[in-house]
Structure 1
Amino acid sequence: MKIILISLDTLRASRLGAYGYNKPTSPHMDRIAREGVLFERAYAADIPTEVAHTGVFTGKIGLTTGVVSHGSELTALPKSTAWLPSLLRSAGFTTSAVDNLYQLKEWFARGYRYYINSVGGNRWIDGKTINELAFPWLEQHKDDSFFLFLHYWDAHTPYLPPQELIPQFYDVGRDPRDPANRSMEQAYNHLAYPFFKHHHYDLIGAVTDSDYYDALYDAEIRYLDDRLKELDDRLEALGIREDTLLVLFGDHGESLTEHDIYWDHCGLYEPTVHVPVIMRWPGRMPEGRRVPGFVQQVDLLPTILEAVRREQPADIRSEKLQDPDGLDGKSLWPAIEGTADRTHDTVYLSECAWQAARAIRTDRYKLIRTYDSGPYIRPARELYDLQTDPGETVNLADSLPELADRLERELLDFVSRKLSGREDPMERQLREAGLPFRRRIEQILDSAGLSWDDWKRDPRRERFDSAVHNR
């Protein structure tokens, strides 16, 4: 038995054809969805990258593990916490990863016999590099029962797709630097501009049309899709495609100007928390099934463990792969086989990086409670009716206070139950160190001779760039 778990970093569900997008970003991922199972409403309980992946590999949300903050020096994951690669290796799987999350926290290398660190000289990683590192390993271990984790970063900023892909998503007759187009001004004059200046803007050039950035994101997804086709073709050539459980997931999505978030992944809004999850296992899973109800990333661990128990490979000690205690995730197999349409009736969401907030998402409503808005302007409470307002544009918290109060109580009760008397790790983070990215904010502004309060009074691109130049 072979298992390939693929993280598609920063991939927003609504930008894939299989999720309804009308541009050709994902022909091969769409094909995988037709050959397997697609989960229409999959959610990242914790964002961004560090906390999302910790949830995938533990089957537990951040309130259970204590890992709720991205990039925090206060965070640690006990070695006693059950970890998917470790569980599979102890049962006899050959475990490997092509990944660079070890650069973020040491626990991401746990459980692997082979950890191929994909980090390079640049912050971003090309999917071509992932394949170049993974393909020789697949060749060497094609006869093993293996677990392979692949982490593709192509949809993450900076958006630098091959130039030949861009015309599929941006009209060749349109000038992205047209001085008459003023759609980039809000991004350039936003409080967050200094923190994203280099990767978001300097590497792209003096663009005036915000649609061009969206097109670059789409082109990156198409580039990623081509790399996934190369992977699938290699599995076919090695004769192991039919024996491989393939699992694709987004760790979080991306906001493309919504809610004053410019090509980044903060905020508990749908563009960032609604992620793709697609599975294919020829002959063991139905083809073309679409699961309509809520599922979460933490459901992947118990689903994979159950898959192994069902398959019972001769060289694997499947009896060792019982579900660990205290999981928040639930097996997706009932939904895969059509005896259920979801694993969760309500989704609880959390972030602590650029902002600190929690949210509750029901079939119809979402309530967001913000504790620290960082370089953004947010009300303390936001309530959206996603049935009538899927874009989350009309905040109903003041006009429907009783509903907002009820949902907030449900959210607080959930947090209390999960903590079970333990200290809230988000409260500790904000009390002892502030937002995890606070130091980055302070360092960047300090380099320009600006204070945070000073910048908030007058955030203008020209002002910041001039301050940097004069320093």
Structure 2
Amino acid sequence: MRILYIDIDTLRAGHLGCAGYHRNTTPNIDALAAEGVRFSNVYASDVPCLPSRTALITGMFGIRNGVANHGGMAADLRPQGAERSFFSGIAANSWASRFYWSGYHTASISSFPFRHSATWWNSGFMESMNLMRGFGGERADQVLPGALRWLNDNAAQEDWFLHVHLWDPHTPYNTPEEYGNPFEDDPAPAWHTEEVRAHNWPLAGPHSAQEPWGFKPDEWGPPPPRHPWNLSNMDEVKQTFDGYDTGIRYADDAVGTLLNMLADHGVLDDTAILVSSDHGEAFGELGVYADHQGADEATCHIPSVLRWPGIEPQVHEGLLYHLDMGATVVDLAGIDIPLGWDGRSVAEDVRTGNHSGRDYLVLSQGAWSVQRGVRWGDHLYLRTWHDGYHAAWNEEMLFDIAADPHETTDLADQSPSVLAEGQDQLLSWTDDQMTRSYSPVDPLKIVLAEGGPFHCKGHLPEYLERLEATDRSDAAAILRQRHPVDPTSTGLSGIPKDVLESLGVDD
């Protein structure tokens, strides 16, 4: 079997045409979906970039493999310990290794291992190629030459697995200016009204409406044309959506180019193709714009389209982790799934059309906030231990995702029985995972013990001044109360004692 995995960074599930989006963002992916399986409810178990791909390649939740952050101890795999054999269990049983041991020629074209010092991504890839120098800032036109060269040399061969990583929807939206704006005449999504913008405008937090670049408008220098200084009006809201969607369309063009190369070699119909992502992107949800900071619907819900020769076109609506997609691809290829994986195959589902899914999912974020979500039925429960300096985030939040997919109305006070259900599921899941973990400590506890999520450390003093200078003193007061000291390096300072105690961390 030939297998092509197209990994489009920061691709939000709802912004594909085949998912009902009103813009023509993904004609090539839509064509694949029409011939294959569109999994409509796939969620990344751990976000953002580093935790998500680490979970995928290891087949294990972050609470077990230890990776939950973008820095500190929880940005590295936990040692396997005394049970580690000549080959580590993680390396020997990685997603790519399953294909390598089965005789496949395995290759990855991605700057991800360089960007995040994630050498473990390479486990099982015979060729691991960082042919770009953008560290995640490269465009599709800079990725394609290496990918096309590899396909030109190998496409006609049997039994290969190729991973191609495209970054175009990731901020900053830097699609070449000459590409234009395919959506200039298309309105922004109807759900993001002026009422939504006005509600979000006074909110605090990195990548908020007044700071969509981080903790201040110019944190990374002057914005490119597709990413405004702030969202002070609806024209700037549209500009933000346009920049993101143009990045998606640019990546989709690259998908078409890769498919054409397979067709040129006469193997397109015989090649399995998976298109998916590492996480989504918020555009106003929980007050976040152009980033991925929660364990919520906007950040964790990702697209997954799988066209597999012999599998009938269908839409699979069951709740699944992205780890389940990895297990499904392995299973469809006739390869055994390791016993230690958390991913479960739904190969039988897509063969028979009798769809099922998980009863509930637990989602984790540790790089921008410290938060876990439980997604089940119509609902999403969020438990927050570090708010990432979003003053409007409550310790517990509850949303009806079916009726309110953009998380505008917190139902925690109105639905105590549903809230309790989410609490119980989170507690049960956490207890179960810790009995199977390589680490004796939940990695989110490590993030808190080191002073909080990587992307927030050191920013609070200056940000409090900015909040007060921009008529957001109330938010500044809340953050001062929650975070008496901003941790700039390591240690427990700045984390409330009751929060630490609730996680079992001693001050």
Give the unaligned 5+ runs of structure 2.
80-87, 189-196, 203-207, 473-507
CA drift at 1:71: 3.5
**Per-residue deviation, residues 137-185 of structure 1 (Å, max 9, x unmatched):** 11222214211111110110111224455543123999xxxxxxx9796
Q: 1:191 to 1:163 in 2, by over 3 A?
A: closer
| Aligned twin of 1:381 | 396
Corresponding residue number in structure 2 for 1:315: none
Give SS of 2:294's match: coil
Alignment partner of 1:88 out of 79, 89, 99: 99
- Name the stretch that deviates more: 388-397 or 243-252: 388-397
Distance 1:157 1:249 in 2: 18
Q: Give the structure-2-normalised TM-score.
A: 0.79
Aligned to 1:99: 110
What is aligned with 1:58? 58
1:388-403 equivalence runs, <5 A: 388-403=403-418
- For 1:314, the equivalent position in structure 2 comes to none
The structure-2 alpha-carbon separation of the partners of 1:166 and 1:89, relative to structure 1 and needing over 3 Å to count, comes to: same
| CA–CA separation in structure 1 for the residues paired with 2:221 and 2:365 | 21
* Counterpart residue number, 1:430: 448
Match of 1:245 among 267, 272, 294: 272
Deviation per CA, 1:10-45, whole angstroms, max 9, x where unpaired? 000111110000111111110000011101111111
Pick aligned residue for 1:156 from 170, 178, 202: 170
Whether the aligned pair in 1 keeps the contact of 2:45 and 2:300 (CA below 8 Å) is yes
**SS of structure 2 residue aligned to 1:31:** helix
Please give the alpha-carbon distance, in whole angstroms, between the structure 2 residues aligned to 1:333 and 1:173: 39
1:467 aligns to what? none
- Taking the aligned partners of 2:138 and 2:106, their CA distance within structure 1 comes to 22
Identity of matched residues, %: 28
Q: Name the CA distance, whole Å, in 2 between partners of 1:185 and 1:403.
A: 30
In structure 1, how many angstroms separate the alpha carbons of the residues matched to 2:264 and 2:48?
A: 35
Give the direction of change, closer, same or farther, for the CA distance of 1:18–1:367 in structure 2 (3 Å limit).
same
Q: Is the 8 A contact 1:4 1:246 kept in 2?
A: yes
Tell me if the contact between 1:49 and 1:252 (Cα under 8 Å) persists in the aligned partners: yes
Task: Give 1:332 shift.
Answer: 2.0
149-158 or 107-116: which moved more?
107-116
Distance 1:420 1:139 in 2: 47
- Provide the secondary structure at the position in 2 that maps to 1:41: strand
- 1:266–1:351 Cα contact (<8 Å) kept: yes
Contact 2:15 2:25 in 1 (8 A): yes
* Paired residues of 2:152 and 2:261 also in contact (CA < 8 A): no
- 2: CA distance between counterparts of 1:200 and 1:393? 31
Q: Structure 1 CA distance, aligned partners of 2:75 and 2:361? A: 24
Matches within 5 A, 1:337-416: 337-377=351-391, 378-416=393-431
Counterpart among 281, 302, 305 of residue 330 in structure 2: 305
Within the candidate set 269, 289, 294, 1:267 is matched to 294
C-alpha deviation, 1:337, in angstroms? 2.1
Aligned counterpart in structure 2 of residue 112 of structure 1, from 125, 138, 154? 125
Per-residue CA deviation, residues 41-67 of structure 1 (Å, 9 max, x unaligned), is 111111111111112222221122222
Q: Partner residue of 1:295? A: 320
Contact 1:188-1:460 within 8 A present in 2 as well: no
Q: Return the letter of the residue paired with 1:362.
A: W
Please state whether the residue corresponding to 2:106 is helix, strand or coil.
strand
Normalised to the residue count of structure 1, the TM-score between the two structures is 0.85
Question: Is contact 2:213-2:220 (8 Å) kept?
Answer: no
Letter in 2 for 1:213: T
Instruction: Say which of 218, 228, 235 aligns to 1:197.
Output: 218
Shift of the alpha carbon at 1:453?
4.4
Considering only aligned residues, what root-mean-square deviation do their CA atoms show, in Å? Answer: 2.6
More moved, 294-303 vs 197-206: 197-206
Q: Does 1:286 align with 2:312?
A: yes
Partner of 2:11: 11
2:222 and 2:13 mapped to 1: Cα distance? Answer: 24
SS at match of 2:263: helix
* Alignment partners' CA distance in 1, 2:158 and 2:348: 28
CA distance in 2: counterparts of 1:379 and 1:139, whole angstroms: 53
